[in-house]
């Protein structure tokens, strides 16, 4: 078990290093640079820009810049954001909690819903309930992500203006609300992004849970459970479910990156100023420090979550735990 953990940790570290290095290289290779983007005025000569480039060390060879960046990132110094004119650390401290809030609620909902729907389907495989739920899931599953997000926006923010179209809270009236009013306003702003993100992932989780359960229903020990005198429903919920949950925890570790990616464009569509939103804007501004640090922090979180999920699987399965 200890050796397994050490191995996984090393692997996780490798992923983080790879992803951040790749990001660093790609964003530097992209045409343009932060100075060019920030100092665009016709009165600024190239000589002035070069001065600034030298001041920020952007004129050094790429490997050197990379090593410098690694050295300071390792000390927790993420540099200064060119586009937002404040320390990257401040930008991250503000946007990370927003993304975590959005995606953790969506993860909670989609796993709760997905597992529940999968169970309802598997209780009577090929029954009417299973078939209907299966059709709905298939529809959700095959709809393009982007289209779904836009549809949600159009339907529930414009056609039926039930919820705000975007943002964290109401930009005008928020400051004048009572604490309860502010909370409600924030919740209202969360609904559509959470709904979209949840719809996007529930289908695959439910399909996965259903097939894991159905596979388990045919096992000998399910027959033993019935022969003991349990009802079908009890046997499914007490015996099969517990076993079929194991692959679903694994699925969790696999879907964390998907959530991270999904969060990016949901944040874009619903103008949710989180990590994804900020990173996309930072890329456009060639804000090297913000892009690389944002990717570094996100990849660390994704990798840690996946690692925790793997440990959870190991802890939940006695065959793994005790070997």
Partner 1 sequence: MTPPLLEIDNLRTWFYTDSGVARSVDGVSMRVDAGETLGVVGESGCGKSVTALSILRLIRAPGRIEPGSAIRFEGKDLLTLAEADIRHVRGNRIAMVFQEPMTALNPVFTVGDQIAEVARIHTDMSRKEAAAKAVEMLRLVGIPDPERRATEYPHQLSGGMRQRIVIAMALVMNPALLIADEPTTALDVTIQAQILELLADLTRRLGTSILLITHDLGVVAENCTRVIVMYAGEVVEEATTSDLFRHAHHPYTEGLLGAMPRVGGHAERLATIPGTVPAPTNWPAGCRFRERCEYAWERCEQEHPPLYQIGEGHVSRCHLAVEPERRANRHVPIAAQVGAGAA
Binding footprint of partner 1 on the chain (CB under 8 A): 219-221, 223-231, 239, 242-243, 246, 316-319, 322
Q: How far is the CB of 175 from partner 1 (least distance, A)?
A: 53
Q: Report the candidate in 321, 302, 317, 309 with the shortest Cα–Cα distance to residue 20.
A: 302
Q: How far is the CB of 221 from partner 1 (least distance, A)?
A: 4
Task: Give dist(CA 305, CA 107) in Å, integer.
Answer: 12
Q: How far is the CB of 32 from partner 1 (least distance, A)?
A: 55
Task: Give dist(CA 169, CA 192) in Å, integer.
Answer: 13
Question: Residue 101 or 312: which CB sits closer to partner 1?
Answer: 312
CA dist list (Å): 16 to 8, 116, 201, 263? 12, 33, 24, 19
Question: Residue 234 or 258: which CB sits closer to partner 1?
Answer: 234
Q: How far is the CB of 238 from partner 1 (least distance, A)?
A: 8
Question: Residue 145 or 317: which CB sits closer to partner 1?
Answer: 317
Question: Residue 29 or 322: which CB sits closer to partner 1?
Answer: 322
Q: What is the DSSP string of 10-49?
A: HHHHHHHHHHHHHHHHHHHHSSS-HHHHH---TT--HHHH
Question: Residue 131 or 242: which CB sits closer to partner 1?
Answer: 242
Q: How far is the CB of 102 from partner 1 (least distance, A)?
A: 33
Task: Give dist(CA 201, CA 105) in Å, integer.
Answer: 12
Q: Report the candidate in 163, 111, 159, 199 with the shortest Cα–Cα distance to residue 271.
A: 163
Task: Give dist(CA 78, CA 293) in Å, integer.
Answer: 6
Q: How far is the CB of 241 from partner 1 (least distance, A)?
A: 10
Task: Give dist(CA 173, CA 186) in Å, integer.
Answer: 12
Question: Residue 70 or 320: which CB sits closer to partner 1?
Answer: 320
């Amino acid at each position: 078990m200890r050796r397994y953990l050490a191995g996984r940790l090393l692997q996780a570290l490798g992923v983080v290093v790879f992803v951040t290095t790749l990001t660093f290289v790609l964003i530097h290779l992209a045409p343009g640079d932060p100075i060019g983007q920030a100092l665009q005025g016709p009165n600024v000569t190239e000589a002035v820009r070069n001065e600034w480039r030298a001041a920020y060390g952007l004129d050094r060879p790429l490997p050197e810049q990379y090593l410098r960046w690694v050295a300071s990132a390792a000390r927790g110094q993420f540099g200064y954001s060119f586009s937002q004119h404040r320390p990257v650390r401040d930008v991250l401290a503000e946007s990370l909690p927003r993304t975590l809030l959005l995606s953790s609620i969506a993860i909670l909902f989609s796993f709760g819903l997905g597992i529940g729907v999968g169970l309802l389907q598997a209780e009577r495989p090929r029954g009417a309930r299973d078939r209907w739920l299966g059709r709905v899931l298939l529809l959700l599953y095959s709809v393009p992500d982007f289209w779904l997000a836009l549809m949600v926006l159009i339907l529930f923010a414009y056609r039926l203006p039930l919820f705000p179209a975007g943002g964290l809270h109401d930009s005008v009236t928020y400051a004048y609300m009572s604490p309860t009013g502010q909370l409600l306003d924030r919740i209202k702003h969360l609904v559509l992004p959470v709904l979209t993100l949840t719809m996007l992932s529930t289908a695959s989780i439910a399909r996965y849970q259903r097939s894991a359960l159905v596979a388990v229903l045919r096992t000998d020990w399910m027959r033993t459970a019935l022969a003991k005198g349990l009802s079908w429903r009890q046997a499914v919920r007490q015996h099969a479910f517990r076993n079929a949950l194991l692959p679903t925890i694994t699925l969790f570790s696999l879907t964390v990156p998907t959530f991270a990616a999904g969060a990016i464009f949901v944040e874009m569509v619903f103008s949710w100023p989180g990590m994804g939103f900020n990173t996309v804007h930072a890329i456009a501004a060639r804000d090297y420090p913000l892009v690389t640090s944002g990717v570094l922090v996100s990849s660390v979180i994704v990798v840690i979550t996946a690692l925790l999920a793997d440990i959870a699987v190991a802890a939940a399965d006695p065959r793994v735990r005790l070997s």
